[in-house]
Structure 1
Amino acid sequence: QIDPDDFIRFYSKAFGLKPIKNRDFYQKQCLNSAGERWFTSAFKCPNDNTIYYAEKGYKSHRSPQGIYWYPEQKIADSATRSVVVAALRSKEGSFDRRKRKDLDCDVPDASREKRKKTDNKDLLVALKKANFQNAYVKIFPEQQILRKSAWKFQTIDIDGTKIHNATFMSPAEKNIIYHPEGHGGILSDGKYWYEDERTAKSVAFFIFLSKMAKMGKIADLHYSLDGRPLLS
């Protein structure tokens, strides 16, 4: 189990993220048919609005709706913290500060980071209306068509609300799979889920574009190597 103070220290200091507050945590309880009280919780990241639900762990019980319930609130809260820590570890690497000796010196440019977040948000909005095939063939001209089979969709129901996941299999890369991640998604069962399929697709394609930019396949998230706008 992860101590609350350790969690706050890891989250707020080790990664230089916006400080968390009590209002970022959500708690819920219910009675089962035997009159026993069960608890669950969630955490909404103040940095990217990703929602993390308590999942698995000590004395957990998974309901048919996919919600994990616990016999005590503190156990539910600890499970939520564990989910957040695991997600951040996968993104940022180990929490062991001894392995991050340059951490205290690596201070990001706040204004640049703010512009980057705004730019990414605008791009995600544009992606919801974009023709992904047009963008894809500008990156891989030999790929004349982007078939519907390049996308796989899943829908689950959590507490009466349907949420969606989409994965993109890049045909020109021998079907390398790109999963949506963050950007307001709900993390459950190791996957990020979104309010509709189009949002899930947009985030998955954003992840794909980010990888292409890192690989030098595109000039940046907006333009191909020959200067053409990807989304026009």
Structure 2
Amino acid sequence: MTTRLIVPSKLLLQLRTYIPKGPLTYGQALTVAERQAARLRELLGVRTAKMPFDWVEHVPNLTLQVLPAHEIERLAGRPASGLTRWNQQLTYLVAVNKNTSFTHRRYTLAHEIKHVIDCPAVDTAYARIGYGNDELRGRRIEGICDHFAAHLLMPGRLVTKAWHLGIQGLGELAGQFGVSEDAMQIRLSSLGFVDPDKDKPASYFFREVDPPRFTRV
């Protein structure tokens, strides 16, 4: 019998304490996302590699729905994996596209949780991200949420532990953490366990506008 995780009454407030009052740089926002992901696991008492999500429905003022693709598209105004809506009373709706894979749905939900955490501070904290370019700003905010999801689903400490215990097969690792093989491949690369550029030394000296995006496949 699985014991349901207990959700602290001020869970979201505790995670929001990591967001400074003023604007963040993109790098600072990624660091905040990492710290929030680690703290969320800690607050919920999660010790397992695979992040459970049965607790989400018990977050105060949050409604979680799993909807067919056409409903998500109608609500979002475009095809989407999921969406988050909120109002001035800080009541949240999180909807996830049911017509995607199991790992995709898990990644989407983790991503949308970050939107919920950020919503009261998004205009202030992300005011300077994108250098005044709305399209770039939106893309980078999505990247920050994906970064949070990656660290929530695949904590560096636990991936490293599994790797050193000899669990190094991509499929085995992905299964243990409940993510796609593509997502795990990117995570292993970010931790330095695999190196897709090992035969291209010059690639280390070019700066990317955005870091590699995690996939939700």
Q: TM-score range by the shorter chain?
A: under 0.3
What TM-score comes out, normalization by structure 2 length?
Answer: 0.25
Q: Which has the larger radius of gyration?
A: 1
More helix per residue: 1 or 2? 2
Larger strand percent: 1
Q: Which has the higher contact order (CA 8 A, sep 6+)?
A: 2
